[in-house]
Chains A and B, each alone.
Chain A
Amino acid sequence: MPTVPMSRREKARRSLVFGAFMVVLALLYTAYKAFGQAIDDTQRDWWLVGSFLPRSDDKNMPRVLDILAEFGEAPRAGGTTIGRLTLDGALFTLREAAVGFAAGTVIGLAIAVVLLQSRRAERGVLPYVIASQTVPLIAIAPIVVVWGRTNFGFLPWEWEDWMSVSLIATYLTFFPVAVNGLRGLQSPSPEATELMQSYAAGRRQVLRRLQLPASLPFLFPALRIAATASVVGAIVGEISAGVRGGLGRLILDFAGKYITGPERLYVAIIGACITGLVAVGIVALAERLVLTRRGQLAR
């Protein structure tokens, strides 16, 4: 779906709404903590909805202020703060995601360009591009890591485990790019194509001057989806592959030590959420820059 233009005022409004939402969420959380179902001796749930709602004690739901304070706490006195650990983890994860995203975009576009060349290829391969997403490759991340260690010896650089995680991010990323990219490449009108033919333009010229530029408004929404997907792939890949250094591992660690400090898990998860937003934000920014310059937003 081509992009919808957005004014600066609308943007400011949306940021405001998002900020207000965070506040409301924190207030609701606090209110539930005050009035929600607490642990009692009988452990009885509320009627009907009880099993869908958490207990409101400080272990299950730490106070908002405590969670915020936890950003500045250090597990060992004088050591790195939780906030810093989360930031480092986020940057590590973001790097994995970025590499995976870049590779996925290139592969997705390549698939789209190949499928564009022949209806038969499109009909034969597209179902498998779609089916590929039902293969939970993300779940076999450990296998991918082992596979990466043993099979990429031929590369000029040393294969590190985080690159295998990027590979998982790539797998989740290429799909929206391929599908939307193909639709975008096919979007020029028959007249535009005939016009290029009347100039005796070759296939590559048509691709470069007509089809690729025309696909951009279709591509960017896909890239935004891909940005989220690459972060998800990186985090989950780290968790299941046991790769250290990133947010996924941090979440797993803190989840394991939940009893001694539930706030830490919250910090790491908030970090993951922000990482996802940052990734999408970067793509949205690029979209704005590119499409405004090309007059495709000024409608």
Chain B
Amino acid sequence: MKALRGGAWLPPTVFGAGGLGLWELVLWLTDPDGFVLPRPSEIAVALGENISEVWMASRVTGFIILTGLAGGVVLGVAAALVVTRFRTANETLTPLAVAINAIPIIALAPLFNNWLGITSPRSNQAVVVLLVFFPVFINTARGLTEVDEEQIELMQSYAAGDWRIMRTVRIPNALPFFFTALRLVASLAVIAAIVVEYFGGRQDTLGNIITQNAQFTRYDVAWAAVVAGSIVGIALYFVGLLLERLVTGRYARASTAA
């Protein structure tokens, strides 16, 4: 088992280091001024020099991401729990949610800015909440309903009530579906939060650092902010993965892939 674990970390590390090295080398040979695409080392230096600004911005944007993510997840799960209790509601509303999920929700950002105030975090949060809500709702509802009929019948043969069936069969069945959605929305939330900052609002955000510095061709600093956003996204992804391991680890190890 231990050998396997080492084997799991080794290939990504090798590929990652190799990729960064290649990036550095190719640009060092072809674009030594780093005009458009800075080298990893330059980005690292820019990140170091602007660390306090990037850190403060990461906190502001991170707050939006976390609150929006939490709100969307809570609402999505709650809606799924309620809607799947009623067959007709489920058969009507879940496909509807699938359709709505096809619209580019980020494009609604200017509307929310007008509704909730462009400088208020509320408009940014609203977009993230909305974006997170639909995948979480759709996947959780699917997990709660796509249950083995025989398991339900078995529980009914024990005279188990609805709530008991929910707890012992439906919710455990829905967990892998939910966590798949959680990993998906973790990175979506980061992208959404940063992009919404594009439509204006506060100055001390990651989105703003990227725009401002890109405008003045300080691409290394813009990239440093991009890296900060990625770190937030990767951290959230791993928190999701960790949660999944903690909750389902004992019986569903296999489902954690991808």
Contacts and interface: CB of A to CB of B under 8 A. Distances in A.
A126 B186 CA distance: 17
Interface in A2-43: 14, 17-18, 21
A91 to B, nearest CB: 16
B83 interface: no
A247 B104 CA distance: 11
Contacts, number: 168
B106 to A, nearest CB: 6
B122 A143 contact: no
B219 interface: yes
Contacts of B102: 224, 227-228, 276-277, 279-281
B230 interface: yes
A227 B16 CA distance: 29
A86 interface: no
A138 interface: yes
Contacts of A143: 36-37, 214, 219, 222
B187 A236 contact: no
Contact of A125 (B15, B230, B258): B15
Interface residues of A, number: 66
Contacts of B186: 134
Interface in B214-231: 214-215, 219, 222-223, 226, 229-230
B12 A127 contact: yes
A179 interface: yes
Nearest to A182: B258
A85 to B, nearest CB: 16
A279 B92 CA distance: 22
Given A21-B96, A126-B258, A139 B104 contact: no
A52 interface: yes
A288 interface: no
A54 B198 contact: no
Contacts of B219: 143
B1 to A, nearest CB: 16
Contacts of B229: 134-136, 139
B199 A272 contact: no
Interface in B189-247: 190-191, 194-195, 198-199, 207, 210-211, 214-215, 219, 222-223, 226, 229-230, 232-234, 237
Contacts of B48: none
Contacts of B108: 269
A136 B258 contact: no
A139 B107 contact: no
A52 B126 contact: yes
Given A240-B198, A251-B110, A277-B103, A139 B16 contact: no
A125 B11 CA distance: 8
A254 B210 CA distance: 23
B52 interface: no
Contact of A236 (B7, B106, B115, B215): B106
Interface in B87-138: 92, 95-96, 99, 101-108, 110-111, 113-116, 120, 122, 126
Pairs of residues from A and B, 9 with the lowest C-beta to C-beta distance, nearest first: A134-B233, A54-B115, A124-B11, A124-B15, A255-B110, A280-B102, A272-B107, A273-B103, A232-B104
Interface of A: 14, 17-18, 21, 51-55, 60-61, 120-121, 123-128, 130-131, 133-140, 142-143, 146-147, 150-151, 179, 182-183, 224, 227-228, 231-232, 235-236, 239-240, 247-248, 251-252, 254-255, 258, 262, 265-266, 269, 272-273, 275-277, 279-281
10 contacts: A54-B114, A60-B114, A121-B11, A133-B233, A228-B102, A258-B114, A266-B111, A269-B110, A277-B102, A277-B103
Given A224-B102, A228-B102, 16 more contacts: A17-B96, A60-B115, A131-B233, A134-B230, A136-B195, A136-B226, A139-B191, A140-B210, A140-B214, A140-B226, A179-B258, A227-B102, A251-B110, A258-B110, A265-B114, A275-B104
Interface of B: 7-8, 11-12, 14-16, 19, 35-37, 92, 95-96, 99, 101-108, 110-111, 113-116, 120, 122, 126, 186-187, 190-191, 194-195, 198-199, 207, 210-211, 214-215, 219, 222-223, 226, 229-230, 232-234, 237, 258
